[in-house]
Chains A and B, each alone.
Chain A
């Protein structure tokens, strides 16, 4: 599809002191082409993107070549780079909530970027800003141009960030995880917008992502990065159909897919958790609006929904950390607050939920100490057994959380949640901060432990495929209400509720051929 190359990267190396982040990579992005640079965290993909625009901190050293047409960008002076930034190459960032200045209107910010490269008056620039907002699909742009970022939704903010990138008609847009912070339905809209802009304006896109569904949906070609090197480059269909390298195969295999697990029989048992008409109000805002939810002993119930749907609030109610405004929560037939010994909780952020000053042994063993269950040699033995159960070496007991990787820390989080042998485990987005391959192993571990120990589990997640891979039953939450509930294969494969159908349809399938068919036909069902 490409005739001339917009960006040519050759032998690019980036190091921070002794740490080599990128070890000599070559790739090109052609005119109007979308190249996806995929890889897990630490693979060097974001660093590569920033190096192209000279946006790395001063302590980074960059060598090799990154050319824009004939212009060399590596080692270019600040003014030379500034001329390129925005006008030739623009960037779209991951987190729209922080990528915009909170104290200026969006129109002001777009105008400032326009005026950085074009001799426009303020009035002209504002007029152009309205046009750009219209281009990226902001409704009523004439009014919204005077809005501050906090008055816009997350998806609208990301559209504004894209408008900023388009302001000076660049030839290449580098989009660094542009949809990672967004809900799936919003993600689908943003991906449509990016594809549409490429088709209409012919802008080349270097898409940096870890999400294989996004890659399958948007990319023309894919370059896979692993530990600072490019392991494989291929057109998107070829890469998904015939990956040639072992790492690419592993990466693709680790991606959870909707509808790939056989229907699981729902164990009939007594209830571990029962929520009856639970309502949670924060002042005037109703976060949870009359939810009924049951988790039987030994059963895994997936609670899915987008941000703001009230799923984390429900998790806190179930754990007895939050009292419902009305309705009742019952754990093992009693009040959750008194049953807390029998409830384990796994948090989303394994880094933030472990005390950095405590050893791994103390992190895991804290519940044993708090509830005075074990001391001395017994304590040590039990912590060692817990570490073993989450497949962490016993030698890790003396380490601190920061010495562990994200996946290892989440294993510590799970070990701690299991320390008292809970009857109910509440896991709130336990894998969404992890890379796919790490996520796969943590999910496998969790499923294995659940089967072995037989605890009930309320698994909260925004990721339908993850929930589908381990839940017996699924509840779909939308604006504080359960819109659909049932066995996982029914809810996620033949959804009855309109909202669930939209949700399932919005998840990009990690298969470019199937994804194209779904997109063009807007076919919702999977499998």
Chain B
């Protein structure tokens, strides 16, 4: 397994480096001048130039890039133009909130898929099939800003069961039951599209596993239908489902930006949204780099788990 990781690591590093170049260039290609935006509409050209010098924006692009890259390695992520604080501090706070939200959403999505996928694959009941088809279409098609608003209206406004936004006043780890109340709506909202995609993929892979000859073998040997689906076919379907899950991390990260602003969840999404609208480029740059890193790591992890789950990859093909 370690050898497998070592074999994959170089390509992951190349991807990260290419991403850093791309992010750096794209940020600078966006129209508008950070120094001008910061100085305000009435500032004199001299004042803007002073700010530009202050921020290091008058240096050659290559120097700026190398400074930034060096900072990433040494842990100095730079300072926010606007808030003025250390970006590392800003990110650390938002990161833990976003991580809590995405992990909760991930758990919800995986549980839903593990429950509904096998049922959908194995059902012979027309109504169950229709209901699950409906769920799948709705979950995949409805964007978070629709489901989020619906969830807020139903559970927050109409039934008044759950808070409609914000985080627990005394922090995430003070009272877990309260945290759960704050977490459930945004987590479900964020999880829904991923749960839909994952359920669909798992059901489809299971269906194709159920058409394999080995399924006939165990059925002919008297193994119960439920066992066939849950124990025999599932193991073959999991690698595909896990690859899909890995790719869906991108959707989770993207969705978090929307969901956090709907539910006023002070995470990286909120930070990134503010960073872009106010042209706080150092912050945006770091956050994009962070997302890419998380995504690449998740892909690496998925590959390793995939290899582990398939003995033909793990043990090599030998006759």
Contacts and interface: CB of A to CB of B under 8 A. Distances in A.
B42 interface: no
Interface in B152-195: none
Contact of A101 (B225, B227, B235, B319): B235
Interface string B292-319: 0000000000000000011110010111
A104 B212 CA distance: 14
A98 B219 contact: no
Contacts of B236: 101-103
Interface stretch (A3-11, A82-90, A321-329, A367-375): A82-90
Interface residues of B, number: 27
Given A112-B227, A148-B312, A150-B312, A101 B220 contact: no
B216 interface: yes
Contacts of A109: 218
Contacts of B225: 78
A456 interface: no
Given A101-B214, A102-B311, A150 B317 contact: yes
Contacts of B219: 55, 85
B319 A153 contact: yes
B317 A98 contact: no
A106 to B, nearest CB: 11
Contact of B220 (A90, A102, A104, A150): A90
A95 interface: yes
Question: Interface residue tally of chain A, by bracket?
Answer: 35 or more
A51 interface: no
A82 B235 CA distance: 22
Interface SS, B side: helix
Contacts of A151: 315, 318
B223 interface: yes
B126 interface: no
Contacts of A112: 218, 223, 227, 231-232
A107 to B, nearest CB: 13
A117 B221 CA distance: 9
B7 interface: no
Contacts of B318: 150-151
A104 B216 contact: no
A148 B315 contact: yes
Among B214, B220, B318, find the residue whose CB has the most chain A CB atoms closer than 10 A. Answer: B220
Given A98-B214, A103-B309, A151-B318, A164 B221 contact: yes
Contacts of A91: 216-217, 220-221
Nearest to B319: A153
Interface string B221-258: 11111010001100110000000000000000000000
Contacts of B231: 112
B216 A55 contact: yes
A85 B217 contact: no
Given A93-B213, A102-B236, A103-B235, A86 B221 contact: yes
Nearest to A104: B235
Contacts of A58: 124
A113 B217 CA distance: 10
25 contacts: A55-B216, A55-B220, A78-B225, A82-B222, A82-B224, A84-B222, A90-B221, A91-B217, A91-B220, A91-B221, A93-B216, A95-B213, A98-B212, A102-B310, A102-B311, A102-B312, A103-B309, A113-B218, A116-B221, A116-B222, A148-B312, A148-B315, A164-B221, A165-B221, A168-B222
Given A85-B222, A113-B218, A151-B318, 19 more contacts: A53-B220, A58-B124, A78-B225, A86-B223, A93-B216, A93-B217, A101-B214, A101-B217, A101-B218, A101-B235, A103-B236, A103-B310, A109-B218, A112-B227, A117-B222, A150-B311, A150-B318, A151-B315, A161-B217
